[in-house]
Amino acid sequence: MHFVIPDYYIIRNCGWFAFRPCQDTIGSRLDNGVGVGLQESGMQVEYSEHIPSKGLVCVVTVKQSSPENYTAQFLSLATATVIPAYTTREYVLSYQIILDFKDIKEYQYNITEKALSSLFMWLLAPVVPFMNDVAIGVWHPGPLSPVVREATKRFWQDAHRDGIF
């Protein structure tokens, strides 16, 4: 089975003054989360940049389902970011199963990412790695790899139960 993550191949200009090309954070997080989730489920992963004309393919995409809520960040802005800003983003993670260019089934999972940002984030940094769905900083959009990993495990169980694998 081939896995295609279209966002993985997006290259953006980043760094100081956007002179350096780098990979899109959403695609990198999807690749990491899907890869680890499938390996933990016991499946050998084969990635492809394009959808092959023959065989079983799974296309993994993510879309933000609701706009970010900035009202929770007003207190942080009023205190010059001394009090951490907290935001929640909701996404829909889709796994589309295709056999020889024909859609077989699509699995969709709603996932949530929480993010913290503050002037003193280094104080909270030791705590965050123990929480799977909390990121430091609100500047990098896209779901976190551990959240994608858990959704991928659910996808694997659901697809296996439906007889696809």
On the question of pLDDT at 158 being above 80, the answer is yes
Reply yes or no on whether the pLDDT at 95 is more than 90: yes
Under a CB-based contact definition with an 8 Å cutoff, are residues 12 and 24 in contact?
yes
The arrangement of strands across the sheet holding 2-4 comes to 46-47, 2-4, 56-64, 85-99, 102-117, 134-136
pLDDT value of position 12: 66
pLDDT computed for residue 59 by the predictor? 92
CA 54, 61, 69: angle at the middle one, nearest 5?
A: 175
Q: What is the CA radius of gyration of the chain?
A: 18
pLDDT at 15: 63
Given a cut of 80, whether residue 97 has pLDDT beyond it is: yes
Residue 92 near residue 63, CB atoms below 8 Å: yes
Could you tell me which residues come within 8 angstroms of residue 31 by beta carbon, excluding any fewer than 6 positions away?
5, 8, 47
Q: Are 151 and 133 in contact (CB under 8 A)?
A: no
Domain at 2-161: CATH code: 3.30.160
Confidence bin at 43 (pLDDT 50/70/90): confident
> Domain extents for the chain?
2-161
| Assessment of whether the complete model's pTM goes beyond 0.75 | no
- How many CB atoms sit inside 10 A of residue 102's CB? 7
pLDDT score recorded for residue 112: 81
